[in-house]
Amino acid sequence: MAEAGFSATLIAPAKLNLSLTVLGKRRDGLHDLVSLVAFADLHDVLSVTLSDTTTDQLTLAGPFAGSLDRDNLVLKAISTFRNAIGPIPPLSITLEKKIPVAAGLGGGSADAAAILRLLARQYGLAAMDPSVQAIAAGLGADIPVCLDSRCRYMRGTGTTLDPEESGFAYHPALLVNPGIAVPTGSVFSALAAEQKIVTAASGRHSLANGIVDGRNDLETPAIAVAPEIGPVLSALSDLPGALGARLSGSGATCFALFDSDMELDKAAEQFRQIYPAYWIHAGTLRNWDKDSLFPKIPMC
């Protein structure tokens, strides 16, 4: 690890589940699923330097900092990496939290993946190296797919990743959250209660079908837990130019995709007039390249 003068800025992009099929519950209590995942231009920012103390330090900032626990996945990722790979000096991290918390956007997973990318680089490892993926999988189901922030199908409990969808193009997207946190456990409990788990085989879908014609099996149980989601999905579906609307993960963030930036901008303005108090992000989905995830390179 670099010593005096070390600094790094890390980008942690938000994750969207463009589709999500729950295949069944395993004996260990987890669920097998298949999900097409993409990443937004919305992201958290982590600023990392060496700590002037003997322990890792985490400072929280940004519009959603107040919703976070200081003992979060970033610190757990550093500790786990030390135990699994090798020594890391104490770090000081400032996390600027721009991704809503408990929103189906994988913000905590993205932050943990970002710090793992940095630590892997210091040891000459690729972000998707099996040893780094193993650490990520042990920390959380969404972290492995967040390591390189590129569109792909994830399967099982999230640890089985298909090859990236290299043809994934720029997609204008409107993200909306009604300002409520939805616990994932509550949604899966509602799913089990409604017996909506499917047993269909997880065959590979075309990318276009996965985006436009896919489904999210957690949508109905999420609405049962947080009824505010239903009107948001209806309003998004009714926007001119919207290519349908869907819930991301277990929610409560919903999204609609559009063919053009012009249609997106008009739709965002119309939605703001309907729900002026809701959190809205009008942006794009993209495949992030490695250099974009490290806008400031670590320096010795």
Kindly list the catalytic residues. Answer: 15, 142
Question: Rounded to an integer, what is the distance from CA 2 to the centroid of its chain?
Answer: 29
Angle at 147 between CA 141 and CA 151, to 5 degrees: 85
Nearest to 93 by CA among 124, 114, 66, 63: 114
The values of phi and psi at residue 65, to 5°, are -65, -35
Grouping H, G, I as helix, E, B as strand and the rest as coil, residue 56 is: coil
CA distance 122 to 286: 26
CA distance 258 to 237: 11
**Tokens coding 73:** 């996945």
Asked if 256 contacts 267 with a C-beta cutoff of 8 angstroms, the reply is yes
Element containing residue 263 per DSSP (H, E): helix 261-274
